[in-house]
Structure formats: structure tokens, C-alpha cells
Amino acid sequence: MITLAAFFIFLCLGLPIVFLLLMAAIVFAWSNDASILFDSFLVQSVKGVEANGFLAIPLYMLVGEIMNRGGITERLIRSSMRLVGRMRGGLAFVNVLTNAFAAAILGSATAQIAIMSRSIVPEMERQGYKRPFATGLTVATGLLGPIIPPSMLMIIYGVLAYQSVAALFIAGLIPGLLLMSAFFVTVWLSKSHLPEVDESRLPGGALREVVADALPGLIPLTIISGVVSGAMTPTEAGALAAVVAFVLAAFVYRRLGIEDFVPTMKSVVLSSASIIMLIGFATLLGWTLAYEAVPDMLAQGIASVAIGPVSFLVLVCVAVFVLGMFLDGIGVLIVTVPVLLPIATQFGVDPVHFGVVLAISTLTGLVSPPVGPGLYIAMEATGLKMMEVFRGALPFLGAFVLVLIIVILLPALSVWLPAAVGL
């Protein structure tokens, strides 16, 4: 109870989530007379980030930063507008399509929400969309990032669960496309309430210009094909993708110059350091809790209630949803995977399927009050209140939960494609 109270106090004081995890570990060890653990805190934190697979994280962050600074985001929006912008509610469809493109490049929900809230929401407002709807849609579609490959959450799960990252990438394809389709249907169902298209604002251009603007869509293919074929590790594929993104931004589109080098690298270093520290301190918290057998008690509680694989996964999703309201998705994975994966295998749940379900369910907390980080990012970018953003996102979050239920009930959606390609 002392740890929980301290957690909420530090949360209310606005302590960053990275240091929140560290303070929670310190308070827990102190309140349980386990101060002997303090001697190993540094060792355990460093141990949490030693896996070679984590080297891919800064490279994917670099790809995303080059994409943003090199005008690639703008080109993806233009390409999407040429494809579906003339439909009624077209810019809402553009939002979904652009986020699907960006998801395959960024792989991070928070980064995607931050970028898209500043780029596409203002344009939707100019065309007559209400700000809460535009922002809510952007927040919801930003959740595609960690599902459509390549995904940082899948890489981290693969490292923690000793599973093939290539199989996890492929496993996320069908659920990701299903989720994108659910968002399209939700927009279509509400399009009678959306503004007419102002064709004077739509970009013109021939088919070759559409293709040129869509070229960045080849970047994730570079990563996925390299990893799936076994020709490259996720880290090597990330490095190649960064080179491809740089060539496009600097030499093809000519939007990235020498003067952008320092700001780009500074942003990547800060973002990567934040994620690496988060992994280290989340590992530390998980180790501290394990010392007092807290994860085992949680696991036994879930296992005693669950009567089969479906009920087990539902209970896991509920637990992860609650954790996700307070912890970043990476922190949730690090705390839960070592404990819950063995129980999942006992219930006959495929580890790859479990990874997909876990990755999707961690995202629900990202956009849920009172702490959802995705909501705060959108609030900062648009000036809306939390509940305004949440109400705008609610129909799309309903579609998100529906897809999660379908994926739980139909494991083949996750495991069929990896098996079909021999992974």
C-alpha cells in the first residue's frame, strides 16, 4: 500500500514515468525491509538493457526523426489525399491511411500521435471537421504504430520472450490491417455528419507524383523483407532503413541539409535515452517485485480464476489495461512478460499469439483517462481538454476493443501467416 500511495503521489507531482518506476522500486524495497536490494539496483538496471535486440530502438527512432524532418510525413499525407481525399469524409480516411503508412515507419504510438496531431489535425479543422473528432481520430489511429510492423513493442517482446522478431512482425500484419479496416468502417458510419470535400484544397498531380510521394512506404518493406528472409537482424534492418530514409530526405526530396544533422541526432539521442532508461528501470521494478513474489501472487490469482485460454487472455487484457493507464507499454511488457508467458503456455496459448494480444492490449491504457499519455500528447498539441479528446476517440476505441476481442477468439489471425512463410 505504501508503494501504491507513493506511486500516485509522484504521479500527481508530475514526475516523468522513467523516474516514477525508479522511485516505485526504491519505495517498495524500503517499505518491505529489503534495503539489501539497493546494492544491486545499478547492476539490475544495466542488465535490463544488455540484450542486443535493443540496439534496434535508436535506429528506428532515427528513421522516424528523418521522416519527420525530411518532409516525408507531408508527402504521405499528400499521397493519401490523392487516393481517398475526394470521398465525403475523405480527410478522415486520409488520417487513417496516413497513420497506417506512418505506423509502418515509426513503430511508436506516442511519436505517431505527437507528429500527426500537429500535422493533419490543423488541416482537418480548416476543412470543417470539429477539433475533438479530428484529434480523437488521430489519437486512435496512432495506436496502429506498435501493431503494424516494424514495431518496437514487438522487438521488446521478442527479446523478453525469446521469440523470433521476424515471426512477431509478420504476426502483426493481419491484426493491423483488420484494425485499419475497422477504423475505415467507423469513419464511413459517421460520414453523414462530416463536412463536404473542399476540392480546391486537394493536391493535384499525375499518377507518377502519387507514386513519388508514396515512396517512403518502401522503407518498412526494407525492414520487414530483410528480417523475414533472415538476411538481416532487426538491428541491421533498422540501420538500412535509416540509410534509405536519409537518401530519400536528403538527395531525392532535398529537405534534409547539413544544418539538420545536430538537431536530428540530438532528438534521437534524447528519445532513445528515455526509452533505454525506461527499459532499465522497468526491469529494476520487475526484479524488486519478484524478490517479494508479487508477480507470482498476481499470476496465481489470474490462473486460479481463468478456466481456459480465452478467459486467461481476457483477464490478462484487463490487468494490462489497468497497468497501461499508469505505465508506458514498454514498462508493462517488462513487468508482465516474464510472469505471464509461462502461464500462457500452460493454457496452450501460442507465444507469438500471446505477444500480439499483449501488444494490442497495452495500447488501450495509452489513451484512457486519467493518465493515458496519448491523451496528454494530443491535449498539448491541440489545446483540448482530456475528456474532449477522449470523447472524440471513443467510437474508434470501441472499434479497437472489438478487433482485440476478435484476435483473442481467433488465434489464426496471428499465427497463420508466420507459419505460412515458414517462421
**Cα angle vertex 143, ends 142, 147, to 5°?**
125
Of 94-103, 123-132, 153-162, 251-260, which gets the smallest average pLDDT?
94-103
As a whole number, the mean pLDDT across the chain is: 77
| pLDDT tens, residue by residue, 39-60 | 677 776 777 677 666 777 788 7
Q: HSE, CB side, 13 Å, CA atoms: give it for residue 298.
A: 20
Separation of alpha carbons 194 and 203, rounded Å: 20
Per-residue confidence (pLDDT) for residue 36, from 0 to 100: 63
| pLDDT tens, residue by residue, 147-203 | 887 777 888 888 888 888 888 888 988 998 899 899 989 888 876 667 665 555 555
Per-residue pLDDT band for 22 (boundaries 50, 70, 90) equals confident
Per-residue confidence (pLDDT) for residue 384, from 0 to 100: 79
Asked if residue 203 lies in contact with residue 123, where contact means CB atoms within 8 angstroms, the answer is no
Q: Rounded mean pLDDT of 206-230?
A: 66
Per-residue pLDDT band for 106 (boundaries 50, 70, 90) equals low
Q: For 195-264, give the DSSP string.
A: PPP-GGGS----HHHHHHHTGGGHHHHHHHHHHHHTSS-HHHHHHHHHHHHHHIIIIIS----GGGHHHH
Per-residue confidence (pLDDT) for residue 85, from 0 to 100: 57
The answer for residues whose C-beta is within 8 angstroms of residue 160's C-beta and 6 or more apart is 333, 334, 337, 338
Question: Per the structure block, which three cell numbers stand in for 103?
Answer: 505506423
Residue bearing the bigger pLDDT, 94 or 2: 94
Q: HSE, CB side, 13 Å, CA atoms: give it for residue 124.
A: 28
User: Has residue 84 got a pLDDT over 70?
Assistant: no
Question: Is the full-model pTM beyond 0.85?
Answer: no
Q: Rounded mean pLDDT of 220-225?
A: 70
CB atoms within 10 A of CB 132: 18
Per-residue confidence (pLDDT) for residue 411, from 0 to 100: 92
Per-residue confidence (pLDDT) for residue 146, from 0 to 100: 76
What's the gap between Cα 18 and its chain centre?
Answer: 17
Per-residue pLDDT band for 33 (boundaries 50, 70, 90) equals low
Per-residue confidence (pLDDT) for residue 108, from 0 to 100: 65
User: Has residue 213 got a pLDDT over 80?
Assistant: no
Per-residue confidence (pLDDT) for residue 60, from 0 to 100: 76
- Amino acid at residue number 232: M
Most confident stretch, 16-25, 169-178, 272-281: 169-178
SS (H, E, C) 322-343: HHHCCCCHHHHHHHHHHHHHHH
Residue spans per domain, the chain:
18-420
Ramachandran region, residue 327 (left: φ > 0; alpha: ψ -120 to 50; beta: rest): beta
